[in-house]
Amino acid sequence: MFELADNPLQPHDRWMYAALQQAREAFDVDEVPVGAVIIHEGRVIAEAFNQRESLNDPTAHAEMIAITQAAETLGSWRLLDCALYVTLEPCPMCAGAIVQARIPTLIYGTTDTKAGACHTLYQITNDIRLNHQASVIGGVLADECRGLLQEFFAIQRAKGKK
């Protein structure tokens, strides 16, 4: 199931702001500004931002790092009672990890027209052929999430990068 957030004062804003804070940390260290938090029983159990450049690791997406942290915190790879908040629609790798981790709820900020795998290009998290599906809500604080990414890439282009 996919839902598009239409009310800017959604209850999800609190946690998306936490994910945006992680994205700003990525921005500050010259990483693509994507942030993620995982919530369990009303509290943050994992928070991360993209670290592909600093770790030289193509899998070091915010979601992947947060999923690993959450599994360690809970002592289980099954993140059954968790919600993942991420500022950018997950890519195919991250969407696959969400399915594998059994995360029941995904909330993201802005769509990813080049790699979005939960709504835009693919619907991996909702594919009934897989053994698990996640409820997906997109568009939470989309303008803020998109704006941070646009600012980052404008700076990068001005520097002759990315």
Catalytic residue numbers read 63
Helix (H) or strand (E) holding 153: helix 142-158
Residue 111 CB-half CA count within 13 A: 12
- C-alpha dist (Å) from residue 147 to 48, 56, 101, 140, 151: 19, 26, 30, 13, 6
Q: 79 burial class (0-12, 13-18, 19+ CB within 10 angstroms)?
A: buried
What is the distance between the terminal CA atoms of the chain, rounded to a whole angstrom?
34
CA-CA distance, 126 to 86, in Å (whole number)?
17
Using CA atoms, how far residue 143 sits from 20, 131, 135, 147, in Å, is 11, 33, 22, 6
